[in-house]
Amino acid sequence: MFLPLVLVPAMLLLPPVAGGDEAFVRLDYPAAVREYDRGLVVNPGDAGLLWRLARVYVCMAETAAEPDRNRWLHCAEENARRSIVADSTLSEGHTWRAAALGYIALEAGMSEQVRLAREILAETETALALNPRDDAAYSIRGSLYRALGNAGWLRRQFARLFVGELPPGGYEEGEAALLQAVVIAPDVMRHQYELGVLYLDWGRLPEARRALERARELPVRVAIDRPRQQKIGELLDQIRKDLR
Q: Are 143 and 170 in contact (CB under 8 A)?
A: no
**CA 96 to each of CA 12, 14, 85, 167: distance values in angstroms, whole numbers, following the listed order:** 26, 24, 14, 20
What confidence score (pLDDT) does residue 14 get? 64
CATH code for the domain defined by 13-107: 1.25.40.10
Q: What is the Cα–Cα distance from 73 to 57, expressed in whole angstroms?
A: 6
Q: Are 212 and 231 in contact (CB under 8 A)?
A: no
Spell out a b/e string for 163-200, using b for 16 or more CB atoms within 10 Å of the CB, else e. eeebbebbbebbbebbebbbebbeebbbbbbbbbbbbb
What confidence score (pLDDT) does residue 161 get? 40
Model pTM score: 0.89
What confidence score (pLDDT) does residue 164 get? 53
Q: What is the mean pLDDT of each run of 10 residues along the chain (244 residues)?
A: 41 75 97 97 96 98 96 98 98 98 90 90 98 98 92 48 64 97 98 98 97 98 98 97 89
What confidence score (pLDDT) does residue 84 get? 98
